[in-house]
Amino acid sequence: MIVDFSVKGRATKHNGLMLAMAMCARQEVDATTKRSCYENLHLVCRTPTQLFMFISYCEAVSTGHGWSRAHRRAIANWYFHFGQSPEEAKRLAVLVTKYKSRNGWSHRDVLRLAHPKPNPNVNDNGVAAILKYIQRGFDKAKEDLKSNEAILQYLQAIEDVKTQTNPDTLDFAAFAHVIREHHLKREHVSTRLLNSPHIWEALLDHMPMTAMIRSLDKMSTIGMLTSGSDHERTITSRLGDIVALKNAKIHPFTILEALFTYRRGKGDRGRLTWSPNEAIVKALDDAFYLTFSLTEPTNKRYLVAVDVSSSMFRGSVIGCSSITAGTAAAALALVTARTERHCEIVAFSHDIIPIAVGAHMSLSDVEAAMRDIPVGEADCSMPMQYARKSNKQVDVFVVVTDSETASQNISPVEALRLYRRHSGISDAKLVVCAMAGSCFTVADPDDPNMLDMVGFDSIGPEVIRRFVDGEMNAETQASNEPQTATDTEYVIVTADGTEADDRDAANAVEATNGPQASSRCDRDGE
């Protein structure tokens, strides 16, 4: 099941799969399960980020000390698996240089403990030389790489852009040429070079959509996105390309988060400030509505209930500090109404009040409608009571609040059970999104058709969709903990196994016993 969930992309995040794999590998289980786990490690851990996460969990759940022979062999084989072809070996070079460390582990740490031993009778297409490069550096590995020219040139290019830091000798145009020639990523480039517009111009040429959206702040900070510039036109054109947005699997919430952060002119973390480019702000706003058509419907009957208490427009969302809980609720209601054929939007405060979300309403229109409703004490059981008393046919209740709620005469769980009995819809689902809550639980952990979500971000809508479609039952039944936006690993893996997005390595679960990585993790730009 673990392999099936991973290979078919059925998991919204990889933490649960990696934990399950680690338990199969390092706890007292039967030999067949342990062997199967290690034999399929390369199928589940397709990127270094996932491998490091697996190792971290192994350290946390292990009942023994040290690495067993089977564990060392499996980790070593993860690297040697890339030796099946020159193309795969080159991909390993890309992966280990882009994702050098995660979860308190680096490749050097891992290889020091795994003791990989290349088979001299097998052509590994340069993998052994790459491992030597990781452990001993480029100069020591250069001789071994001569028989693999493509890998040698690639690693030489990385050395060139990583090690050149003397401001008196920097040739930005030459480095930009190297970046374009070898399709290098942001993580391959030294920090000093990243303050040059020339370098960002080169990176932009092959920058994936998600990386471009998340790099708008930096490109604006260094003065690259001036009004009327070629770069402005490039970015606005890409944001308006529905095919490119579809291929990148961009959700409206990804755009919304970027829009509010970019328009604000300062980031959530760090010291970056910039003057927003109005054309790019408009392009982001347009892209938000454009991506509605890319959202996959579930064809279920929805009742989306949004809390309209005054606190909703005061605090920010956990997982997206540039957006208030009220704005996030309005956006979720708008996206659902535009995507699902059968959807009713209501506000709940002192009473249930329908909100007519029309086809041409904007986000600000929905927010205004919410603000016009008299405030009162929010009760999360009200939507289910309303549906029962009104004889509504509802498959999915989505209740959005900031967390400051109170139940009057009946709990939300009991209200849902009463609705199920009254309507005959025995599997009616309840999703409660606590946008600003931290210690929050409403759902019955033993009911696979109830889900709590703490915080919200661009992954949130996909979590809801998969839960509604029944794809998450195996995941939710495996844990009694609420889904938490800030626990999300932000790893999206494409069909070829490369990472399209690992936004925030700091959110990864830290290993309890693992050695510390020798270098800090950069924020991934792809």
Q: Is the pLDDT of residue 157 over 60?
A: yes
Q: Is the pLDDT of residue 124 over 70?
A: yes
Q: What is the 3-state secondary structure (H, E, C) of 12-67?
A: CCCHHHHHHHHHHHHCCCCHHHHHHHHHCHHHHCCCHHHHHHHHHHHHHHCCCCCC
pLDDT band at 162 (very low <50, low <70, confident <90, very high): confident
- Cβ burial of 122 (10 Å; 0-12, 13-18, 19+) is exposed
Q: What is the pLDDT of residue 480?
A: 38
Q: Is the pLDDT of residue 2 over 80?
A: no
Mean pLDDT on 422-430: 98
Closest to 441 measured CA to CA, from 449, 450, 310: 450
Contact 382, 287 (CB under 8 A): no
pLDDT band at 14 (very low <50, low <70, confident <90, very high): confident
Q: What is the pLDDT of residue 117?
A: 93
Q: Is the pLDDT of residue 522 over 60?
A: no
How far apart CA 370 and CA 375 sit, in angstroms, is 10
Closest to 493 measured CA to CA, from 105, 13, 106: 13
Q: Is the pLDDT of residue 523 over 60?
A: no
Instruction: Render pLDDT for 186-204 as a digit per residue (tens, 0 to 9).
Output: 999 988 889 999 999 999 9
End-to-end CA distance of the chain: 28
Contact 509, 103 (CB under 8 A): yes
Q: Is the dihedral of CA 91, 96, 97, 98 positive or negative?
A: positive
Residue environment code for 61-78, b if the CB has 16+ CB neighbours within 10 A, otherwise e: ebeeeebeeebbbbbbeb
pLDDT band at 439 (very low <50, low <70, confident <90, very high): low
- The residues spanned by each domain of the chain are 1-160+489-526, 299-468
For residue 438, give both structure tokens.
């931290």
Q: Is the dihedral of CA 252, 255, 260, 266 positive or negative?
A: positive
Q: Give the mean pLDDT of the chain.
A: 85
- Residues of the chain above pLDDT 90, percent: 62
Q: Is the pLDDT of residue 432 over 80?
A: yes
Amino acid at 65: H
Q: Is the pLDDT of residue 503 over 50?
A: no
Contact 512, 61 (CB under 8 A): no
Which 3 state secondary structure label does DSSP give 343? strand
β-pair partners for 301: 342
How far apart CA 344 and CA 412 sit, in angstroms, is 19
Least confident of 124-138, 477-491, 510-524: 510-524
- Cβ burial of 129 (10 Å; 0-12, 13-18, 19+) is buried
Q: Look up residue 186 and give its DSSP letter.
A: G
- Residue identified by tokens 């510039």 is 229
More confident residue, 412 or 377: 412
Instruction: Render pLDDT for 227-282 as a digit per residue (tens, 0 to 9).
Output: 999 999 999 999 999 999 999 989 999 999 999 999 999 877 667 899 999 999 99
Q: Is the pLDDT of residue 375 over 70?
A: yes
Q: What is the pLDDT of residue 369?
A: 94
Please provide residue 381's backbone torsions phi and psi, each rounded to the nearest 5 degrees: -85, -15
Closest to 272 measured CA to CA, from 217, 212, 200: 217
Q: Is the dihedral of CA 472, 477, 483, 488 positive or negative?
A: negative
pLDDT band at 443 (very low <50, low <70, confident <90, very high): confident
Q: What is the pLDDT of residue 199?
A: 95
For residue 363, give both structure tokens.
């986000």
Write the CA distances from 366 to 42, 357, 359, integer angstroms: 46, 7, 11
How far apart CA 325 and CA 332 sit, in angstroms, is 10
Q: What is the pLDDT of residue 166?
A: 65
∠ CA(162), CA(168), CA(173), 5° rounding?
Answer: 60
pLDDT band at 148 (very low <50, low <70, confident <90, very high): very high
Closest to 248 measured CA to CA, from 194, 199, 201, 290: 290
Q: What is the pLDDT of residue 520?
A: 27
Of the CA atoms within 13 Å of residue 367, those in its CB half-sphere come to 12
For residue 54, give both structure tokens.
């697996």
How many contiguous H segments (helices) and E segments (strands) does the chain have?
A: 25, 13
How far apart CA 483 and CA 361 sit, in angstroms, is 30
Contact 56, 510 (CB under 8 A): yes
- Residue identified by tokens 């979860």 is 103
β-pair partners for 454: 434, 484
How far apart CA 57 and CA 255 sit, in angstroms, is 32
Q: What is the pLDDT of residue 517?
A: 33
Mean pLDDT on 75-82: 96
Mean pLDDT on 353-370: 93
How many residues belong to the chain?
Answer: 526
Q: Is the pLDDT of residue 328 over 90?
A: yes
* Angle formed by the axes of helices 252-264 and 325-339, nearest 10°: 150
In whole angstroms, how large is the CA radius of gyration of the chain? 25
Domain 299-468, CATH 3.40.50.410 — does that match?
Answer: yes
CA 179 to chain centre: 26
Dihedral, CA of residue 60, residue 63, residue 65 and residue 67, to nearest 10: -80
